[in-house]
Amino acid sequence: MKRESNFHRELMLPRYWITWLGIAFLFFLVCLPYPLLYRLGIFIGRISMRFMKRRVFIVRRNLELCFPDMNKTALERCVNSNFESLGIGLLETGMAWFWSDRRVKNLFSVKGLENLKMAHASGKGILMIGLHFMSLELGGRAMGLCHPLIAIYRPHNNKLIEWAQTKGRLRSNKAMMNRRNLRGVIRALKSGEVVWFAPDQDYGPKGSVFAPWFAVPNVATTSGTWVLARLAKPALMTVVFLRKEDCSGYELVIEKEIHDYPLDNEIQAARYINHVIESEIMRAPNQYMWLHRRFKTRPEGMSSLY
């Protein structure tokens, strides 16, 4: 479990110099006023489509699979909007890492914080079900300012980016925990901690079952939620961080505790959590991370959807 971001002299080696330049550029860029960052992010997102042809294909394919009844014009509009959101999300990462608490607090409101306080008062640990919206990094920072938590994540392969993101995330949260550390997560939940976990991506066949997701019938769904719910008996809640389209800021939405999650059936549990995730995505589908290959793992004998 990471409770601090330790700097090592190795990070000053030449192989990290380009990454240092990128981080420094991002630091100075996010000193700009938010409305300007918002518009700049849209521009970056539009330009990125010219250089990310493979990701444009994945976004379009994911939307075609999930919303088969969407007409061509609406679909292309969603693709373009999603990349605009991606550009804004890049700058939001810098905002999350480098902005002061005061500046972050001034930009978001909270709906449902009483739900978290009520569940926490019961003494149980809380498993916060999060999603991969483009504003994920800033959402984690905002959540930590409301109630510091432990976030489950996959360490970055680049050691400098790993140091920078850990340092940024721990500005308002308790700790970062590797998603492979199942025992540590269970201990944290049993001790009453609030733990953030995102079960909305394809983590491969190991530890997953197949369940419907939107219009796709067989989607690899991690059983992590079900395992943690059975072993640690936490309260289950969802949290999303939504960007307001009028450039006025964000809303952190914390829903009420889930009481009817099926603990006795792994497949039904996967179906349930996928339905919850679908509902949360539909709050702002253009802000969701559709460029992830959500359907890369297929049942044996089935061909690739990409």
For residue 230, what are its two tokens? 């059975």
Note down the domain range covering 27: 9-287
Number of domains, the chain: 1
pLDDT, one tens digit per residue, over 162-172 is: 999 999 999 99
Tokens standing for residue 125: 């640990």
Q: Is residue 51 situated within a structural domain?
A: yes
pLDDT at position 86: 98
Specify if 238 maps to a domain.
yes
In a domain, 306, yes or no: no
Q: Which residue in this structure is represented by tokens 């373009």? A: 80
Instruction: Establish if 264 belongs to a structural domain.
Output: yes
Residue 1 lies in a domain: no
Angstrom distance (rounded) from CA 181 to CA 183: 6
pLDDT of res. 80: 98
Q: Rounded to two decimals, what is the model's pTM?
A: 0.93
In the chain, pLDDT over 90 holds for what percent of residues? 90
**Residue entry with tokens 């920078």:** 164
Q: What is the 3-state secondary structure (H, E, C) of 164-202?
A: HHHHHHCCCCCEEEECCCHHHHHHHHHCCCEEEECCCCC
| DSSP classification of residue 244 | -
Contact call for residues 219 and 262 (beta carbons, < 8 A): no
Res 75 pLDDT > 80: yes
Tell me whether strands 235-243 and 250-254 are parallel, antiparallel or unpaired.
Answer: antiparallel
Asked if pLDDT for residue 8 goes beyond 90, the answer is no
In a domain, 296, yes or no: no
Per-residue pLDDT tens for 17-61? 999 999 999 999 999 999 999 999 999 999 999 999 999 999 999
Q: What is the mean pLDDT of residues 224-252?
A: 96
The pairing of strands 175-178 and 150-153 is: parallel
Say if 301 falls within a structural domain. Answer: no
Q: What is the pLDDT of residue 180?
A: 87
Is 205 domain-assigned?
A: yes
CA angle, 197 then 121 then 149, to 5°: 30
